[in-house]
Structure 1
Amino acid sequence: MREAAAISDAAMPRAKEVIPPGVAEASAAAEIISTLIKGVDGKPGGDLASFFLCASPRISTPHIRWEDVFRQVSQVNLEFAGVRHAYVTPLMRTVSVGKPFDRLRRIHEGEVAGLEAALDVAKPGATCSDVATAFYQTLKKHGFEKESRWGIDWTEPTASLRTGDLTILQPNMTFHLMLGNWVDDDLGYAISESFWVTETGVETFSTLPREIFEE
């Protein structure tokens, strides 16, 4: 999973490079996907696990594909995963083409604070619900709420980072802490961290900063 994470980490800066205004979303997607498949350090990626590029003006809709060209002032939410020997390490970040608008900055600050609160709680002995509650309570203090799902896919009958899931975290469990938030018609935001439960806490796989990437 660390090798898969290195591939994800290489693809996100590449995304920042290939989404200037006027460029076709499909062309940018091709460049990012190429990085995910080529891999890094002579270690190729595997089959594409997932890839979503959601750009203005459709920024409030999750899980859509490329369609148009990037606007002069716009936002791009990215969700993809590096794959290595069938191990998958997802990553989500938001990119701003031009200066991020104030409401985007505010939700970013709230989501990052919630993410860090969740990671602080995540350790052996804590429940999935404990992790979720830490995030929700912190985000609410920043004036936002997240109503959409997060954590492992809702169709999987296993541990999921959501309130009410009393599964106890144990060493060597891994999770995708998926905090995409689609608030209303003109505001959507994406950030996530994949993490590994250690003997004393958690270790995140990505080395990228938790920031809005500005193009």
Structure 2
Amino acid sequence: MKKNFFKNSFGNEILFSKKEYLDRVKKVKLKMSKNNIDVLLVASPANQFYLTGYDGWSFYTPQMVLISLSEKYPYWIGRKMDAVGAKFTAFLDKNNIVPYPDHYVASQKIHPMDYLVDFIKSKKLERKNIGVEMDDYYYTAKWHDILIKGLPNAKFLNAFLLVNWVRMIKSSQELTYMKSAGKIANLAMKKAMEKVDVGVRQCDVIAELNRYTTMGTNEIGGTFTCKPPNAMVGKFCSAPHLSWTEEKLKKNEIFYIEMGGAKHRYHVPLARCIFTGRAPKKIKELSKIIREGLNGVLNKVKPGVTGHELENTWKKIISKYGVKKDSRIGYPIGIGYPPTWGELTTSFRKGDKNILKENMTFHCIPALWLQNYGIVISESFIVTKKGAQRFTNYEQKLFDLKDFQ
């Protein structure tokens, strides 16, 4: 992978150019203006990363990015020891990296939001319309309570997903990172499935998968993903979000794996199943139906179609075989921080009229979770003028042991 050579004001290499970051901020400001928001407080680590480049495992303590319509650059406000990390990863200069003292951390008397209240007052923004990410995982009830009590003359507005919608259309540099993540996902899935055998512990298979998502390929180094794989065996495959155990694999079981490759926080998910023996005809036929439906959806993808249309394409195909599915079959992907690589904005489901646009990226996962087992074949892709462009090239099938022997 070609190394980037963008540098911030501290001389440190960063992931995107200053121009790209400022273009992102400009797009967010346009949405702020349309929603009558003067000041935006960004709690989501994924959105903070998108707007500033800041990337550290520091979101277990309060931190915030502040964007004001009256200022060109955002402010990153966080713990003093983590301000050093901002100098290494963010595009901001020192005046826009605002550290709060460590005595605010885990204190029963004062809170980092008290510091933020004082900062907002120092900028004469305490009477403005302030947008906050009300439903974000990282914006707590206590944070909101401190802010509204500390800023009684401000009007607080819900700005949840405001930045997420801007993030959906990817730049060429973002797509480069996602294509790298796809190559890592491809390799890691292959190595995990090669490890599968009767008598092998489930955890050893996932250890092999994690080894390759971290190590990457010979050309592309990997890193940690924002969430562990969903990995279920046998009857547990009927539940979509469980984890592996230390149990040894038995003959004639399905091993269901949904995982992701990551490059610079950009994620590409991939899901496949392997059968530890000779799969029954019924299960083989079901996997073929899923593959047919998946590719019907991918063939339908183009700028201008909606999630509703894609789900309807899937439904028409599977209904020919008497198969039903009542959950969504896809969602947008990109930057991932715990607990998700999903962008939370739209879905491939009945009634979703949001329009797909060029350079949006999605994970189509038309899995079927039945009473005694589950089957999945998924694809992550880019929306292009010509249709869906896959991030991986992993074979679409229900695998069995003989495929790797």
Please indicate the TM-score interval, normalised by the length of the shorter structure: over 0.9
Residue 24 (structure 1) aligns with: 201
Q: Following superposition of structure 1 onto structure 2, how do residues 30-49 of structure 1 map, counting pairs within 5 Å? A: 30-49=207-226
Q: Is the contact made by 2:233 and 2:256 (CA closer than 8 Å) also made in structure 1?
A: yes
- Where do 5+ consecutive residues of structure 2 fail to align? 1-177, 333-339
Q: Counterparts of 1:102-113 in structure 2 under 5 Å?
A: 102-113=281-292
1:201 to 367, 387, 390: 387
Q: Structure 1 CA distance, aligned partners of 2:222 and 2:200?
A: 25
Matched, 1:97 2:276: yes
Cα displacement (A) at 1:156: 5.6
Deviations 1:168-213 (A, max 9, x none): 11100110001121021x1211111001000121111111111111
CA contact (8 A) 2:331 2:344 kept: no
Q: Which moved more, 1:40-49 or 1:90-99?
A: 40-49
Cα pair 1:104 1:187 within 8 Å, conserved: no
CA distance in 2, matches of 1:117, 1:149: 15
Q: TM-score, normalised by structure 2?
A: 0.51
Q: Which residue of 2 aligns with 1:146?
A: 325
Rounded Cα–Cα distance in structure 2 between residues aligned with 1:16 and 1:178: 19
Higher gyration radius (CA):
2
Which structure has more relative contact order (CA 8 Å, sep 6+)? It is: 1
Picking from 361, 372, 390, the partner of 1:174 is 361
C-alpha displacement at 1:99, in angstroms? Answer: 1.0
Aligned residue identity for 1:64: L
Query: Structure 1 runs of 4+ off > 4 angstroms?
Result: 153-157
Which amino acid in 2 is paired with 1:201?
A: G
**Distance (Å, rounded) in 2 between the aligned partners of 1:84 and 1:55:** 28
Match of 2:234 among 56, 76, 83: 56
1:126 aligns with 2:312: no
Q: Deviations over 1:131-162 (max 9, x none)?
A: 11101110111221112333228996512111
Cα root mean square deviation, aligned: 1.7
The equivalent position to 1:188 in structure 2, one of 370, 374, 384, is 374
Task: Name whichever structure is richer in helix by fraction.
Answer: 2
- 1:48, 1:125 → 2: CA distance? 31
Count matched residues: 214
Q: Percent identity?
A: 29
Give the conservation status (yes or no) of the 8 Å contact 1:148–1:182.
no
2:261 partner amino acid: G
